[in-house]
Amino acid sequence: MRVGVVGNPRYRDLKAVLERVALQAPERGITLHSEPRLQPFWGREVPPFEGVELDALLTFGGDGTLLRGARLLAGRETPILGVNFGRVGFLTTATRETLDAALDALGAGRYVTERRQMLMAVIKDGQGVERSSQVAVNDVAVHKGGVARVVRVNVFINGENVGPYSADGIIVATPTGSTAYNLSAGGPIVVPGVEAMVVTPIAAHTLAVRPLVVPATFRIVIEPMAGWADDLLVSFDGQTGSSLAPGESVDVRRADHRVCLIRLGGDGFFSRMRQKLHWGDLSEREAVR
């Protein structure tokens, strides 16, 4: 079994964990392949995974590391097992404490996968010619660079002009991303498996604009209004980005491929929501007498 490894070097325990994984992998029938920047952490030579047909991908870090790993797969629907080193880790399924059991399950194939919707965003010039494109697992956001300032854009959904948005930015999120930036901006949680996209303004400057949930088959086009296109950025999963020049637009649709997340045991979506987001937690409230 060929397993790629992606990790966040900022976590101080990463070296010890990787050395432990390197010792345990062979007895589980796992051959490891590393991203290049992790080579100093292994304590041995581990070949890179570029050009290798992987059976699975291990990510060591938080949700951000898992999102980066998904983009590194470049469209391949390779199952991803996320090991959480951070605080929330909503997308991950294992921890340092459960790592041994997770490796056992991975090597034996005792897991299920969730195929999650992704986004494809295309930046086009004024003539409709594609300048660049990028995929995202969570969201695509249009916002100002530098200090927080209002943006004014027109939003078209399936060719129909929804109207002008005046806000600090606009988020287009997948159901997976609905619990990320979208939730912080006041957008709804959409259960994974629902084929939809969410359009959420960031700090809308009018009460007449609210989040919208639209079918995943729709296309969403965001066009800056004349005179409001300076210093605009397009961010993908909050990790990579591109400038948006005057006259350009962002065309967002459902990607042709999915991201496959490995799940172990009975960690359903709502149990993760209760645990990770403390959903409905009233433990800190005093009883009313």
Looking at the whole model, is its pTM more than 0.75? yes
> Is the pLDDT reported for residue 288 higher than 80?
no
Q: How far is the C-alpha of 242 from the C-alpha of 244, rounded, in Å?
A: 7
Pick the CATH number of 118-256 from 2.40.50.140, 3.20.10.10, 2.60.200.30, 2.40.10.220: 2.60.200.30
pLDDT digits (tens, 9 = 90+) for 11-47: 888 999 999 999 999 999 999 999 999 999 998 889 9
pLDDT category of residue 199 using cuts at 50, 70 and 90:
very high
- Residue 258: pLDDT over 90: yes
DSSP state letter for 48: B
Regarding the domain with residue range 2-111+264-277, which homologous superfamily does it belong to in the CATH classification? Answer: Probable inorganic polyphosphate/atp-NAD kinase; domain 1 (3.40.50.10330)
Residue type, 244: L
Residue 69 has a pLDDT of 94
Helix H or strand E segment including 200 = strand 196-202
Residue 226 reports pLDDT greater than 90: no
**Secondary structure (DSSP) of 127-196:** TS-EEEEEEESSEEEEEESSS---EEEEEEETTEEEEEEEESEEEEE-TGGGGTHHHHTTPPP--TTS-E
Question: Where are the domains positioned within the chain?
Answer: 2-111+264-277, 118-256
Instruction: Please state whether beta strands 79-84 and 94-95 pair in parallel, antiparallel, or not at all (unpaired).
Output: parallel
Q: Known catalytic residue: 63?
A: yes
166 and 205 Cβ atoms separated by less than 8 Å: yes
Which amino acid appears at position 235 of this protein?
S
Which range (124-128, 178-182, 186-190) has the least confidence?
124-128
What is the structure's pLDDT at 278? 82
Identify the active-site residue in 63, 139, 237, 251: 63
Residue 74: left if φ>0, alpha if ψ -120 to 50, beta else—which one? left
Position with higher pLDDT, 280 vs 237: 237
